[in-house]
Amino acid sequence: MAARAPHNSDTPGDSQSLVSAIHANVGDEGLLAEENLESGDVELIAAVLAGRPECFEPLIVRYQSRVFRLVRRYARRETDVEDLAQEVFIRAYHKLKTFRGTAPFEHWLMRLAVRVCYDYLRNHQRRRETSWADLGEVEQQWLERYAADPRTTEETDNGARELAQRLLSLLSPASRLVLTLQEIEERPVKEIAQITGWSVPLVKVRAFRARREMRKHLEKLARKNQL
């Protein structure tokens, strides 16, 4: 790897070899066993910061499966997923000197990945109407039941889950982020506050608004179905 060690300069080094390392490992996401994920992280990080940037590549291999799983919750197109994962590792490489070791490297990396995904949502926000014709059969059937009587529908149905993913794409970036963290990843409010930098009360307010925003989209679809 030709990149300079992050601590030597505030200017990013040559990231091309880092990008090559990421692309070389795409498709080998399950390379290491789960129990070995944290083994040797501190030593590898110390080596990178001491001037051996090639030692960052084992960290890419070790954590790429978790990074890919996370970014797929925020991006649908596989090209976007790969770009986001690449951005996560490039940003982690250049910010490695900020890792203090007070928590596992994985936690630090996942928080950074969430921030990268949030930036992506804000920069690629697309507000579009969800057409009734675009819905799959399972989603249509669930929505028909919901339109007839919301009390007869279960949120755990396959149709509900598929529709929820579609509705998430319509939400504002902050709403989508907070619901993904709280409902899909099941993170507590305090942890969401740490990840996002928002206060605990702000997380709660945004979660409330996000659910209301999603409900409005759902009711709009249900009304269209009744027309």
**Domains of the chain (ranges plus CATH)?**
6-123 (1.10.1740.10), 132-226 (1.10.10.10)
**pLDDT surpassing 70 at residue 197:** yes
Higher pLDDT, 12 or 85: 85
pTM, rounded to two decimals = 0.67
Q: Give the pLDDT of residue 27.
A: 42
Q: Give the pLDDT of residue 219.
A: 76
**pLDDT surpassing 80 at residue 198:** yes
**pLDDT surpassing 70 at residue 115:** yes
Q: Give the pLDDT of residue 154.
A: 52
* Region of residue 40 (left: phi > 0; alpha: psi -120 to 50; beta: else): left
CA pseudo-torsion sign 204, 207, 209, 212: negative
Q: Give the pLDDT of residue 150.
A: 53
Higher pLDDT, 184 or 134: 184
Higher pLDDT, 185 or 20: 185
Mean pLDDT, residues 22-36: 41
The mean of the pLDDT values for the chain is: 75
